[in-house]
Copies of this chain bind each other. A is one copy, B any other.
Amino acid sequence: MDSINKCQREVLVINIGNELLDGLRENGHLLWLGEQLARRGLPITRSVVLRDDAAEISEEIKKSWGKYDLIVTTGGLGPTSDDQTRASIAKVLGLKLQRVDSAAKNLETLFTKIGRKVSPADLSQCTVLEGGESLSNPHGTAPGIFYCDGRTTLVMLPGPILELHPMYENEVIPRLCSIGCASDGEAYVQVRTFGIGAVPLEQIVRPLIIEGMALTFGTHTGIVDARITSGTSGACSKKLCEVAKSIRDAVGDDFVCTGHSCLATIVVEQLRSMEKTIALAESCTGGLLANSFTDIAGASKVFAGSAVCYSNDAKINILGISECLLAQHGAVSAECAEAMAAAATEKFGTDYALSVTGFAGPGGGTDDNPVGTVFIGYATPTGVWSKKVFMHGDRGQVKLRAVNTALDWMRRHITKYGVEDCIRRS
Query: Is there an interface contact between A30 and B34, defined as CB atoms closer than 8 Å?
Result: no
Q: Are B19 and A23 in contact (CB under 8 A)?
A: no
Instruction: Tell me if A98 is interfacial: C-beta within 8 Å of chain B.
Output: no
Q: 1/0 per residue A32-70: CB within 8 Å of B?
A: 111111100001111111110000100000000000000
A21→B44 contact, CB < 8 A: yes
A307 interfacial by beta-carbon distance below 8 Å: yes
A300 is an interface residue with CB less than 8 A from chain B? yes
Among B26, B288, B293, contact of A31 (Cβ-Cβ < 8 Å): B26
- Tell me which residues across on chain B come within 8 A of A34, comparing CB atoms: 20-24
Verify A22–B47 contact, CB threshold 8 A.
no
Contacting pair B311 A305 (CB below 8 A): yes
Q: Are B310 and A349 in contact (CB under 8 A)?
A: no
Minimum CB distance partner of A25 in chain B: B218
Q: Which of A22, A295, A311, A318 has the most CB of B within 10 A?
A: A22
Q: Which of A27, A32, A284 has the most CB of B within 10 A?
A: A27
Q: A297-B395, A308-B308 known; 13 other A-B pairs, CB under 8 Å? A: A19-B216, A21-B34, A22-B227, A23-B37, A24-B35, A46-B49, A162-B394, A287-B290, A287-B293, A290-B308, A299-B310, A300-B310, A305-B307
- 19 residue pairs of the A-B complex, CB under 8 angstroms, read A20-B30, A20-B34, A21-B47, A24-B225, A27-B27, A47-B48, A282-B290, A284-B294, A286-B290, A286-B295, A294-B399, A295-B395, A295-B399, A303-B310, A304-B311, A305-B309, A305-B310, A311-B348, A318-B318
